[in-house]
Amino acid sequence: MSGSSTLPPAIRVQRAGALVTAALDARSARAPDYAAENEALHALAEALSTSDTAMLQKLVNTALALCGAGSAGISLREYTAGRPAYRWVAVAGRCADLVDRVIPIDDSPAGVAVELDSAQLFSFPHRHFDCLANVAPQVNEELVVPIPGNPEPLGALWVMSHDDHRFDSEHCLILTSLATFTRAALTIGEAKADAEARAREAEKARHALSKAEEAKDNFIATLGHELRGPLAPIDSALQAAQKLAAESPAVLSALAVANRQVQQLKRIVSDLLDAARGRHGKLSVRLAPALLGDIVKDAIGAVSHEVERRHQQLHVYLPVFPVTVFADAARLTQVISNVLGNAVKYSLPGGEITLQVDAPDPSAIPEHDLTPRDVVIIVRDNGIGVPRDLLPRVFDLFSQSQCARDVGEGGLGLGLPVVKYLVEAHQGEVSISSEGEGQGTEVVVRLPIVRRSTVEHSAATSHGIPPARILLVDDSEDATEALALLLALDGHEVKRAYGGQEALAVIESFTPDVALIDINMPGMTGHELARRLRQHEQCVSTRLVALTGYAVSTDARAVDGGFDGYLVKPPSLEALADALQR
């Protein structure tokens, strides 16, 4: 039926007289129906927001109606078994059930139109193309228009007549316009598919990044917990040893070195945990009236030893009047000490550091005016400075220049992210400026926390605690022994237990004022022990304090678990004093 298979399809159908494209211009063309075409154009424009399948089906339905055809369809080029072919991706009319039919290019009217790169009209194509031989009713005429593409046509849009209907030049114009629209629809579809694929990849990348961040945060939390475990007994043992060696300056000197290194480790672990909690909004601040002078004094105390050791000069300029702030005093102390600590660490021996605090006089604020006023804290140094390319990233986790690593004597780049989080938690802002390496650094912290209030200066810190009966429960023998020794040296009566059952046995003959209980113990957890102690007549008035290696942001978790409060391992003497005195 298809004639000589050695001839190209275009030449074969031309010789057979099946190609009658010239008749399009010879036939009388009907008058354009602009109203119908305009309505169809609006419908197609609305269909652009639908799926590719729906869009292409709308196009063939439009071609079928505007050309008065018996069938209409779109053939798109694809590869089947490694060979090019055409698939009828959308079909309307009498051939609608043939959708998804795949036709070899050399047995397709679309292949001829694409080869000739122009619209073509075929007479009785079923006699010359095997692909149409079994189409019923038979095809009397087929008008085919290539769909433009780059570098080659994407396929073809076609209409068929199964009766006496004849196609003319007006039908060819309509089909050519629809073929151009088809290209636009396919381009939009490809762009949309590409955008959706990119969105899926981006979402996949975001999900992978989120999982990686979650794994990193879990690792940091676990690392902090594991580090706090051995740090607790070391810290307690060192403090106990310092009390025992009060008469030996040489021993005290050696212990002081060890103690400074332990405090450095504790700060690193605290920064790790604070950074992880801050990333997830779990680093809380508890606001209360406090004197800014006391906060600054505590922050200076945290760095004064290093300042002296490095023979640096620290100049402090405070307002001459007392300044009351509404802030979390401990967290604000952490902010100032971190910034000062960086200035000390990244300034050379003999360097100069300036701490300047500017604030309005609270006594000048009207009595009933609670509007916060700004306090500005500025820390300047003449140290190594910050490279200009690093300035935009100084608040990122683990962000440090190579110069800072070389000169700064350690550090993980965690302090400034924590500072930024805590400042923003106080509704403030922090900025860093530097003229470059070797040009020093200036950190400016602005906080809207100054209030009118009457707060008296705090008394000097004292570790003296009224003697108490203390039950210490921890499965770590080293941690328990060191902390028990430290508490005993302060005059407390301490009983130790290395698990829940042992603790329950101890209280049969010992009524504690305070029970310090490790939460994570094998066998009986701290929460279960707390619940059972609450039911025991001996412990009706006992204060239960949780010991945990995980730095929870508030004591809500401990209170919910049956405790009156919590302490993070290793507990400082100040924290122990607070827990025992309440």
Per-residue pLDDT of 494-523, as tens digits, reads 899 999 999 998 988 888 889 999 988 888
- Which stretch of 22-26, 46-50, 123-127, 148-152 has the lowest confidence by average pLDDT? 46-50
With bands split at pLDDT 50, 70 and 90, how would you rate the model's confidence at 279?
A: low
Task: Give the residue-averaged pLDDT of 17-45.
Answer: 80
Given a cut of 50, is residue 253 above it in pLDDT?
yes
Per the model's pLDDT, the better-predicted residue between 541 and 562 turns out to be 541
Spell out where 410-462 has E strands: 429-433, 441-450
Instruction: State which amino acid sits at residue 312.
Output: Q
Given a cut of 60, is residue 180 above it in pLDDT?
yes
Is residue 545 within 8 A of residue 515, CB to CB? The reply is yes
Instruction: Note the pLDDT of residue 465.
Output: 58
Given a cut of 50, is residue 431 above it in pLDDT?
yes
What would the pLDDT profile of 321-365 be if each residue is shown by its tens digit?
888 888 888 888 888 988 998 899 889 999 999 999 999 888 888
Instruction: Note the pLDDT of residue 391.
Output: 81
Instruction: Note the pLDDT of residue 220.
Output: 65
Other CB atoms within 10 A of residue 225 CB:
17
Q: What 3-state DSSP class applies to 299?
A: helix
Instruction: Note the pLDDT of residue 442.
Output: 93
What would the pLDDT profile of 551-564 be if each residue is shown by its tens digit?
544 444 444 567 88
Given a cut of 90, is residue 240 above it in pLDDT?
no
Instruction: Note the pLDDT of residue 281.
Output: 56
Given a cut of 90, is residue 124 above it in pLDDT?
yes
- Which stretch of 19-33, 133-147, 276-290, 397-411 has the lowest confidence by average pLDDT? 397-411
- Please state which CATH class domain 9-194 belongs to: alpha beta
With bands split at pLDDT 50, 70 and 90, how would you rate the model's confidence at 5?
A: low
- Which stretch of 40-44, 100-104, 152-156, 396-400 has the lowest confidence by average pLDDT? 396-400
The residue extents of the domains of the chain are 9-194, 287-450, 469-581
Instruction: Note the pLDDT of residue 89.
Output: 92
Task: Give the residue-averaged pLDDT of 12-35.
Answer: 84
Instruction: Find the farthest-apart pair of alpha carbons in the chain and give their distance in angstroms, rounded.
Output: 122
Distance CA 466, CA 443 (A): 42
- Partners of 10 in beta bridges: none
Task: Give the residue-averaged pLDDT of 393-416.
Answer: 57
Instruction: Note the pLDDT of residue 382.
Output: 92
What would the pLDDT profile of 184-218 be if each residue is shown by its tens digit?
888 887 777 788 888 888 888 888 887 876 776 67
- Please state which CATH class domain 469-581 belongs to: alpha beta
Given a cut of 60, is residue 412 above it in pLDDT?
no
* 87 sits in which H/E element: strand 83-93
Task: Give the residue-averaged pLDDT of 3-26.
Answer: 81
Q: What is the DSSP string of 96-160?
A: GGGTT-EEEGGG-HHHHHHHHTS-EEEESGGGT-GGGTT-SSPPSEEEEEEEP-SSS--EEEEEE
Instruction: Note the pLDDT of residue 455.
Output: 53
Helices (H), ranges, 433-545: 477-489, 500-506, 526-534
Half-sphere CA count of 104, side-chain side, radius 13 A: 11
Distance CA 88, CA 86 (A): 7
* CA 524 vs CA 51, 434, 564, 565, 568: distances in Å: 60, 55, 19, 19, 20
- Which stretch of 181-185, 397-401, 451-455 has the lowest confidence by average pLDDT? 397-401
Given a cut of 70, is residue 100 above it in pLDDT?
yes
Give the Cα-Cα-Cα angle 463, 469, 475 (nearest 5 degrees): 90
CATH architecture observed for domain 287-450: 2-Layer Sandwich (3.30)
All residues at 6 or more sequence positions from 563 whose CB lies less than 8 Å from its CB, including other chains? 517, 526, 530, 544, 545, 546, 555
Per the model's pLDDT, the better-predicted residue between 332 and 370 turns out to be 332
Instruction: Note the pLDDT of residue 555.
Output: 42
Task: Give the residue-averaged pLDDT of 261-277.
Answer: 63
- Which stretch of 220-234, 284-298, 349-363 has the lowest confidence by average pLDDT? 220-234
Is residue 337 within 8 A of residue 299, CB to CB? The reply is yes
Averaged pLDDT of the chain:
81
Distance CA 212, CA 208 (A): 6
Task: Give the residue-averaged pLDDT of 465-492.
Answer: 81
All residues at 6 or more sequence positions from 2 whose CB lies less than 8 Å from its CB, including other chains? 12, 107, 128, 129, 130
**Residue 150: Cβ-neighbour burial (10 angstroms; 0-12, 13-18, 19+):** exposed
If you compute the radius of gyration of the chain from its CA atoms, what whole number of angstroms results?
41
Instruction: Note the pLDDT of residue 467.
Output: 80
With bands split at pLDDT 50, 70 and 90, how would you rate the model's confidence at 223?
A: low
Instruction: State which amino acid sits at residue 318.
Output: L
Instruction: Note the pLDDT of residue 269.
Output: 65
Is residue 426 within 8 A of residue 288, CB to CB? The reply is no
Given a cut of 50, is residue 461 above it in pLDDT?
no
